[in-house]
């Protein structure tokens, strides 16, 4: 087994182990993938201020996200089809997160159901909601998340319709994979994945199949979203969903200061500055680039989190220093999960933690909660001068 020292080290193993359609699903942005690429390349433009002769003893990465203690401010993002990256993937990722002391967010479009994850974990996790046209089904989903003891609802606002990811269409993405000559050829080289999948009963969208009425084939994410997701989701509906849920609410997919103000007005507990990992509006700015403008607009009114582009502890530090209170990793844990199951997710978290801790120390800081703009060197034109 190769020595894994960075998140990128998982990728070749992940690629070898997991069927192409699921690797491609995770590794895609929409259309030209400009936003997907810039989510990471914009992090690289920010540099760090090295400081010396500072006592580095007693460092801590502990903090809170929406009032919950976290070992480091890095939550696992909701990722659709996680249970196709590895058998029982959501349960494994949730257990790794729980052991590490960071939040796990279960996607509506997960393979393992809310109840399944609750049964196999002992701490509350967060539930991500996609709003469907069928109000009864949405109400039932919310109730299921309450019954499972979820401690926050993460309401995604940037996916009323699905951004086009070319590879998913070309690969004929479904869960489970439909057997065609191309998928069979691919699966023949992914026998370990196949053997593990055969040993679990969780191979369909667990929150949907058997729960949503009149669903005969929910295997295709693109058809399901096109038919079922609510294109009329607006701020009035968000306010209603907040009432319905009644608990901590995180609004995900905010990329504009005006929308951030709306989210704060509605009384969200946190907002996630996110462009959905570059999977929705291609051509949108990277999350890290818009973060400062959103912190300026609502930093004193609502807790701000950042998602999209985080692949290292240095990225985490940069986001925190620019004013985020928490961050999310999606692909970074998915690579680990696909490559090595639960152990891979734990290793991904350990890598990010080590990078965050060492970087913080070399920037002359001991406490992640005190990170501020002072530890960074940000190019003057970083945010861009857009008209």
Instruction: Determine the Cα–Cα distance for residues 12 and 10; give it in Å rounded to an integer.
Output: 6
Q: Please name which of 239, 63, 211 lies closest in space to residue 155, comparing C-alpha atoms.
A: 239
Q: Which residue is nearest to ligand GLV (CB)?
A: 80
Give the residues lining the site for ligand GLV (CB under 6 A).
Answer: 80, 109, 159, 276, 279
Query: In this structure, what token pair is assigned to residue 353?
Result: 């933690």
If the CB atoms of residues 173 and 356 are measured against ligand GLV, the closer one turns out to be: 173
Alpha helices in the chain (DSSP H): 10-17, 20-26, 34-45, 82-85, 89-100, 114-119, 135-147, 166-171, 181-188, 191-198, 221-228, 235-245, 257-266, 287-298, 313-321, 331-340, 342-362
CB of 164 to ligand GLV, least distance (A): 11
Task: From residue 292, give the alpha-carbon distance in Å to each of 148, 256, 269, 377.
Answer: 36, 11, 19, 14
If the CB atoms of residues 276 and 305 are measured against ligand GLV, the closer one turns out to be: 276
If the CB atoms of residues 109 and 129 are measured against ligand GLV, the closer one turns out to be: 109
DSSP line for 216-278: S----HHHHHHHHB-TT--HHHHHHHHHHH-S-EEEEEE-SHHHHHHHHHHT-SEEEE--GGG
Q: Determine which one of 86, 276, 305, 353 is catalytic.
A: 276
CB of 78 to ligand GLV, least distance (A): 8
If the CB atoms of residues 276 and 365 are measured against ligand GLV, the closer one turns out to be: 276
CB of 170 to ligand GLV, least distance (A): 15
CB of 158 to ligand GLV, least distance (A): 9
Active site residue 276: yes
CB of 166 to ligand GLV, least distance (A): 13
Active site amino acids: 276
């Amino acid at each position: 087994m190769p020595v894994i020292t960075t998140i990128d080290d998982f990728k070749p193993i992940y690629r070898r182990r997991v069927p192409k359609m699921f690797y491609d699903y995770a590794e895609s942005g929409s259309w030209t993938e400009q936003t997907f690429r810039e989510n990471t390349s914009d992090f690289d433009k920010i540099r760090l201020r090295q400081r010396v002769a500072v006592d580095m003893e007693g460092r801590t990465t502990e903090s809170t996200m929406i009032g919950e203690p976290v070992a480091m401010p890095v939550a696992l993002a909701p990722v659709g089809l996680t249970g196709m990256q590895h058998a029982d993937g959501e349960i494994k990722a949730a257990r790794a997160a729980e052991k590490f002391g960071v939040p796990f967010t279960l996607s509506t479009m997960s393979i393992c159901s809310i109840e399944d994850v609750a049964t196999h974990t002992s701490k509350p996790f967060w539930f991500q909601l996609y709003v469907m046209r069928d109000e009864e089904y949405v109400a039932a989903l919310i109730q299921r998340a309450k019954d499972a003891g979820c401690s926050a609802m993460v309401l995604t606002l940037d996916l009323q319709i699905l951004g086009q990811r070319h590879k998913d269409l070309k690969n004929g993405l479904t869960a489970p994979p439909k057997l065609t000559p191309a998928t069979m050829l691919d699966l023949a080289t992914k026998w370990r994945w196949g053997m593990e999948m055969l040993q679990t009963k969780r191979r369909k969208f667990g929150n949907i199949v058997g729960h949503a009425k009149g669903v005969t084939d929910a295997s295709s994410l693109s058809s399901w979203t096109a038919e079922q997701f609510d294109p009329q989701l607006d701020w009035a509906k968000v306010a209603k969903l907040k009432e319905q849920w009644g608990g901590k609410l995180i609004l995900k997919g905010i990329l504009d200061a005006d929308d951030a103000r709306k989210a704060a007005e509605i009384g969200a507990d946190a907002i996630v500055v996110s462009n959905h990992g570059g999977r929705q509006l291609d051509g949108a700015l990277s999350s890290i680039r818009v973060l400062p403008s959103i912190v300026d607009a609502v930093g004193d009114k609502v807790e701000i989190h950042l998602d999209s582009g985080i692949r290292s502890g240095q990225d985490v530090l940069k986001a925190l220093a620019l004013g985020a209170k928490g961050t999310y990793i999606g692909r970074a844990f998915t690579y680990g999960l696909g490559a090595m199951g639960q152990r891979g997710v734990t290793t991904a978290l350990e890598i990010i933690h080590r990078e965050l801790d060492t970087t913080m120390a070399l920037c002359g800081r001991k406490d992640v909660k005190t990170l501020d703009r002072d530890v960074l060197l940000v190019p003057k034109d970083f945010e861009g001068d857009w008209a």
